[in-house]
């Protein structure tokens, strides 16, 4: 339960600005802890019950939230009506830009996503955003889209809407708004940050956790950091680029970041494919890795792959002291044996105090990518931020 907005309620004067701030506060706590009763909202925000009653009525009338039923039917005392964000109130178009395949869908105001389609990711950004615009125009004919939100496999300047570097795509300094002229706000963030964001809002075991790490293993390796309950991006939006921490000082392999011996060189799916060394069916690395997972003679490579991933987790655990490390991307279905190798390695090598309360698990998202859901959550946050 968060109480960071308490000071707003303590201001005794009732200006329109304070009212807007209080409405945003209510929307944020419902978004983070949904569903909630009016008394829960009062308890979390510190707003008086009468203010909560008045402001939630306005938010219902304005179409932001709705009553979704009651709880406490069988217990003595008053039944409590539960409130949630109104799913259809605001729709966003969300894209998961993959190195080979891009997936897109519709994001709802409650943070859920409905998948709509996929396409081969064009190699140049101009082509990509032309395709994105066509999809936006097509979907806008059926639905009122209020935001377009992109998950990017690289570093993104959130304020400038600029892809600083997506190395596996070869995109550098791409200003999205220059290439995508649309009449709705455009948002973008790194795929690991968005995955962390999605878990923060959807997973019960993160409700009371302030420090967590999301590691996404695909053609590259991305890391999303949650510090003090917030996504930590750093002043230049490069925080969490843990794929480029040096794990082998003596490596003669140079990374595309220009350093040698980066973690990503031994923990991306490309490492496993290369180590396996035999022909694998598939048009791209993702398909080849899927084929590799089915091979009986790939077990040894996968065991070493788990250890390589664990080396980076040891470093992250020692630096950040997270309570939860979540793995996403192409390794989530590798099963308990893969995860126990990682778990045992980290418990043996990381600082004892750092692993005492540590949990390592695969992402909660299986049929949909965590970062696509994160792109929808980013849109919801922006909509709440712009409430007037
Ligand atoms: Zn590197």
- Count the Cβ atoms, other than its own, within 10 Å of residue 187: 21
Angle at 199 between CA 175 and CA 163, to 5 degrees: 10
**Ligand 1 center from residue 258 Cα (angstroms):** 6
Residue 286 C-beta-side C-alpha neighbours within 13 Å: 12
pLDDT given for residue 4 in this prediction:
47
Whether 324 and 206 have beta carbons less than 8 Å apart is answered as yes
Query: Would you state the torsion angle of the CA atoms of residues 179, 181, 184, 188, taken in this order, to the nearest 10 degrees?
Result: 0
Report residues of the chain scoring pLDDT below 70.
1-14, 72-78
Residue in 67, 326, 96 with CA at minimum distance from that of residue 217: 326
Residue 11 C-beta-side C-alpha neighbours within 13 Å: 12
pLDDT given for residue 77 in this prediction:
59
Q: State the Cα–Cα distance between residues 233 and 224, nearest whole angstrom.
A: 8
**Ligand 1 center from residue 254 Cα (angstroms):** 8
**Ligand 1 center from residue 266 Cα (angstroms):** 11
Q: What backbone phi and psi angles, to 5 degrees, belong to 69?
A: 130, -175
Q: What backbone phi and psi angles, to 5 degrees, belong to 278?
A: -105, 165
**Ligand 1 center from residue 167 Cα (angstroms):** 10
Q: State the Cα–Cα distance between residues 271 and 332, nearest whole angstrom.
A: 17
Whether 192 and 226 have beta carbons less than 8 Å apart is answered as no
**Ligand 1 center from residue 243 Cα (angstroms):** 6
- Crossing angle for the helix pair 285-293 and 269-276, nearest 10 degrees? 60
**Ligand 1 center from residue 106 Cα (angstroms):** 34
pLDDT given for residue 34 in this prediction:
83
pLDDT given for residue 90 in this prediction:
94
Q: What backbone phi and psi angles, to 5 degrees, belong to 263?
A: -55, -40
**Ligand 1 center from residue 318 Cα (angstroms):** 20
pLDDT given for residue 334 in this prediction:
93
Q: Where are the alpha helices (DSSP H) in the chain?
A: 6-10, 16-33, 38-45, 49-61, 125-140, 176-179, 191-202, 264-267, 269-276, 285-293, 299-320, 335-349, 352-355, 370-385
Which domains are assigned to the chain? 6-85 (1.10.10.10), 91-194+370-385 (3.30.420.40), 209-362 (3.30.420.40)
Please give the full DSSP string across 282-345, using - where no structure is assigned. -SSHHHHHHHHHT-GGGHHHHHHHHHHHHHHHHHHHHHH--SEEEEEETTTTSHHHHHHHHHHH
Q: Exposure string (b/e) for 315-342, b if CB count within 10 Å is 16 or more?
A: bbbeebbbbbbbbbbbbbebeeebbebb
**Ligand 1 center from residue 26 Cα (angstroms):** 42
Query: Which DSSP symbol is given to 121?
Result: P
List CB contacts of 138: < 8 A, sequence separation 6 or more.
none
């Amino acid at each position: 339960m968060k109480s960071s907005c308490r000071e707003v309620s303590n201001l005794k004067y009732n200006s329109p600005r304070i009212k807007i701030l209080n409405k945003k506060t209510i929307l944020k706590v419902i978004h983070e802890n949904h569903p909630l009763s009016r008394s829960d909202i009062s308890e979390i925000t510190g707003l008086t019950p009468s203010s909560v009653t008045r402001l939630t009525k306005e938010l219902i009338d304005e179409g932001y939230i709705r009553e979704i039923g009651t709880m406490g039917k069988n217990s003595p005392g008053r039944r409590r009506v539960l409130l949630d964000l109104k799913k259809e109130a605001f729709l966003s178009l969300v894209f998961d830009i993959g190195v080979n395949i891009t997936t897109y869908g519709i994001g709802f105001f409650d943070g859920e996503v409905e998948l709509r389609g996929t396409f081969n990711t064009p190699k140049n950004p101009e082509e990509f955003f032309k395709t994105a615009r066509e999809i936006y125009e097509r979907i806008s004919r059926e639905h009122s889209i209020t935001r377009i939100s992109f998950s990017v496999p690289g570093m993104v300047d959130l304020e400038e809407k600029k892809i600083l570097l997506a190395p596996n795509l070869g995109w550098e300094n791409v200003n999205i708004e220059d290439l995508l002229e649309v009449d709705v706000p455009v948002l973008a963030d790194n795929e690991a940050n968005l995955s962390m964001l999605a878990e923060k809002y959807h997973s019960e075991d993160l409700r009371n956790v302030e420090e967590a790490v999301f590691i996404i293993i695909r053609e590259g390796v991305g890391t999303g950091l949650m510090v003090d309950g917030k996504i930590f991006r750093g002043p230049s939006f490069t925080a969490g680029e843990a794929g480029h921490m040096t794990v082998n000082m003596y490596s003669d392999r140079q990374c595309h970041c220009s350093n040698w011996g980066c973690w990503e060189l031994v923990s991306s799916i490309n490492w496993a494919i290369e180590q396996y060394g035999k022909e694998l069916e598939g048009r791209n690395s993702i398909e080849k890795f899927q084929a590799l997972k089915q091979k009986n003679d790939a077990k040894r490579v996968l065991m070493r792959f788990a250890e390589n991933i664990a080396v980076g987790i040891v470093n992250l655990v020692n630096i950040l002291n997270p309570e939860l490390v979540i793995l996403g991307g192409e390794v989530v279905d590798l099963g308990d044996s893969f995860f126990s190798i990682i778990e045992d390695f980290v418990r043996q090598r990381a600082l004892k105090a750092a692993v005492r309360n540590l949990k390592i698990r695969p992402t909660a998202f299986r049929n949909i990518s965590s970062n696509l859901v994160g792109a929808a959550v980013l849109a919801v946050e922006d909509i709440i931020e712009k409430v007037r």
